[in-house]
């Protein structure tokens, strides 16, 4: 365990010791183990842009629930919407008018999407989306990109951040399972490609067109520190999948609503056949959804043959959260306000690292960013970020933490919310300046 002078984490450590006896690793999700500290932190409450830990420390939050809290913690509109459903008796597994209304509103924001199904976690969402795409095409193969993350399911649980020694050549990577316990044969149906490589994409899609059901991708690869798809790559993936009868799935679980009220690359005019939503979509509550063209979505039971059901599909409490969320993000000043915060934060960070002589690249796209120590140019795919300087990152993160700025060490992405104020960003930049100064001492 790393003790940080000037930061009292006594109760966090005590709780973690207790938690370890009943929760593997003392956590409920492995991403919550803080590898920089050597234990998990325990929080008492969240309020807007702030987190309060069990030792009474306040932090400006730049994890924002791995992207789920785009409205900040405890947004009053979400809380009121949930209260209203609570007063009607929760009703976990029934159809209500609310689910229809919210679906209508969501579909208006995603051009080309005509129908949707609600789901809960992102992991189940990509897995169901791929099943539906397989049912639609009658084919089983899936292309995913190295460095992209689509949850922990066995269908696509490969090659998120593989060790380079195991990952094969840069232009034809081999699938590397993200976990023990994934059946090796799962990779027989998976082709891993480098992101933003039009040549490798075209070569593979043409060669495997008879077996490929779907290409799944993050249109902004936040799970490798916010790498953008190049315009040429976006155009190529859309044109080739259309030509070859392959379903194009944008996994917007993280990128959706991050840049605008809709898909992250919707300004390009390139739209997928299916979209996966999650995280921010529920206003901080665990709600996801699969969107797609009518002919594809009607593969779902009870209309078509792809079994899609679940006790916790669309509980009104969660859908109410999404309803409140959609109202907030469609207000005219929402994205201009969010963008202004990002501009100040990203430019301020760049200025600090340049002035302090710290080699770090700030890759900001909408309300989330990658912070890449050891890089000095824009990354194009996973191989470009694989060699980042984790020791420098660890020291920077601890330097921020003890001064009241919460960044999660080794998270591929960080982000802010609409509840952050410009004053919070200025305070953060002051903290980052001190943490950067400490790095070069």
Q: Which residues bind ligand PLP (CB under 6 A)?
A: 66, 121-123, 126, 149-151, 218, 223, 251, 253-254, 278
Smallest separation, CB 3 to ligand PLP (Å): 30
Q: Which two tokens stand for residue 65?
A: 């629930």
Q: 């207000």: which residue's tokens?
A: 331
Smallest separation, CB 323 to ligand PLP (Å): 19
| Residue whose CB is less far from ligand PLP, 50 or 281 | 281
C-alpha closest to that of 310 among 288, 328, 326, 331: 288
Kindly report the number of other CB atoms within 10 A of residue 238's CB atom. Answer: 18
Catalytic residue among 139, 144, 279, 402: 279
* Cis amide bond preceding 308, omega within 30: no
| Residue whose CB is less far from ligand PLP, 34 or 121 | 121
Residue 70 C-alpha from the chain's centroid? 11
**Is the CA virtual torsion 72, 52, 45, 390 positive or negative?**
positive
Residue 79: burial class (beta carbons within 10 Å; 0-12, 13-18, 19+): middle
Smallest separation, CB 132 to ligand PLP (Å): 16
149 noted as active-site residue: yes
The Cα–Cα gap between 298 and 311 comes to 20
Contacts of 392 (CB under 8 A, 6+ apart): 358, 359, 360, 373, 374, 439
**Is the CA virtual torsion 440, 7, 426, 53 positive or negative?**
positive
The Cα–Cα gap between 280 and 71 comes to 8
Residues 141/212, Cβ–Cβ less than 8 Å: yes
Catalytic residue among 53, 61, 223, 251: 251
Smallest separation, CB 433 to ligand PLP (Å): 30
Smallest separation, CB 254 to ligand PLP (Å): 4
Q: Which two tokens stand for residue 359?
A: 């080699």
Backbone angles phi, psi at 113, to 5 degrees: -85, 130
| Residue whose CB is less far from ligand PLP, 71 or 254 | 254
| Residue whose CB is less far from ligand PLP, 145 or 353 | 145
Residue nearest to ligand PLP as judged by C-beta position: 122
139 noted as active-site residue: no
Smallest separation, CB 253 to ligand PLP (Å): 4
| Residue whose CB is less far from ligand PLP, 178 or 208 | 178
The Cα–Cα gap between 202 and 199 comes to 5
In the chain, the largest separation of any two C-alpha atoms, in whole Å, equals 65
| Residue whose CB is less far from ligand PLP, 26 or 282 | 282
Catalytic residue among 50, 118, 136, 149: 149
Kindly report the number of other CB atoms within 10 A of residue 186's CB atom. Answer: 17
Smallest separation, CB 322 to ligand PLP (Å): 14
3-state secondary structure at position 20? helix
| Residue whose CB is less far from ligand PLP, 32 or 356 | 32
Residues 32/18, Cβ–Cβ less than 8 Å: no
Smallest separation, CB 45 to ligand PLP (Å): 22
Which pairing describes strands 212-217 and 141-145: parallel, antiparallel, or unpaired?
parallel
| Residue whose CB is less far from ligand PLP, 150 or 228 | 150
| Residues labelled as active-site residues | 149, 251, 279
């Amino acid at each position: 365990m790393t003790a940080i002078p000037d930061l009292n984490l006594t109760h966090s450590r005590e709780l973690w010791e207790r938690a370890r006896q009943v929760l593997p690793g003392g956590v409920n999700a492995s991403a919550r183990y803080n590898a920089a500290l050597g234990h998990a932190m325990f929080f008492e409450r969240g309020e807007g842009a702030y987190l309060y830990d069990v030792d009474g420390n306040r932090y400006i939050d730049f994890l924002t629930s791995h992207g789920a809290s785009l409205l900040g913690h405890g947004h009053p509109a979400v809380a009121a919407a949930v209260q209203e459903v609570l007063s009607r008796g929760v009703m976990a597994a029934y159809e209500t008018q609310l689910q229809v209304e919210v679906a209508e509103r969501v579909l208006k924001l995603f051009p080309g999407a005509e129908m949707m199904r609600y789901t809960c976690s992102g992991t189940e969402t990509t897995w169901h989306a791929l099943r539906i795409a397989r049912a639609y095409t009658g084919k089983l193969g899936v292309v995913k990109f190295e460095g992209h993350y689509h949850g922990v399911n066995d269908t696509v649980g490969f090659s998120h951040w593989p060790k380079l020694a195991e990952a094969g050549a840069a232009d034809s990577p081999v699938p590397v399972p993200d976990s023990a316990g994934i059946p090796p044969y799962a990779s027989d149906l998976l082709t891993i490609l480098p992101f933003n490589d039009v040549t490798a994409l075209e070569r593979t899609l043409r060669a495997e067109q008879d077996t490929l059901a779907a290409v799944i991708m993050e249109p902004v690869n936040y799970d490798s520190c916010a790498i953008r798809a190049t315009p040429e790559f976006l155009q190529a993936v859309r044109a080739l999948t259309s030509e070859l009868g392959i379903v194009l799935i944008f996994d917007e679980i993280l990128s959706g609503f991050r840049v605008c009220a809709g898909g992250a690359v919707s300004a390009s005019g390139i739209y997928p056949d299916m979209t996966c939503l999650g995280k921010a979509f529920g206003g901080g509550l665990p709600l996801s959804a699969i969107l797609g063209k009518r002919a594809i979505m009607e593969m779902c039971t009870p209309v078509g043959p792809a079994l899609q059901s679940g006790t916790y599909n669309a509980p009104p409490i969660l859908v109410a959260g999404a309803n409140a969320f959609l109202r907030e993000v469609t207000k005219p000043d929402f994205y201009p306000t969010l963008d202004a915060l990002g501009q100040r934060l990203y430019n301020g960070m760049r200025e600090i690292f340049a002035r302090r002589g710290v080699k770090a690249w700030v890759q900001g796209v909408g309300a989330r960013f990658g912070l890449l120590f050891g890089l000095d140019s824009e990354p194009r795919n996973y191989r470009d970020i694989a060699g980042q300087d984790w020791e420098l990152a660890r020291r920077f993160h601890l330097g921020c933490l003890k001064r009241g700025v919460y960044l999660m060490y080794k998270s591929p992405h960080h982000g802010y919310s609409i509840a952050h104020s410009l004053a919070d960003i200025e305070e953060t930049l002051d903290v980052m300046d001190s943490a950067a100064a400490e790095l070069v001492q």
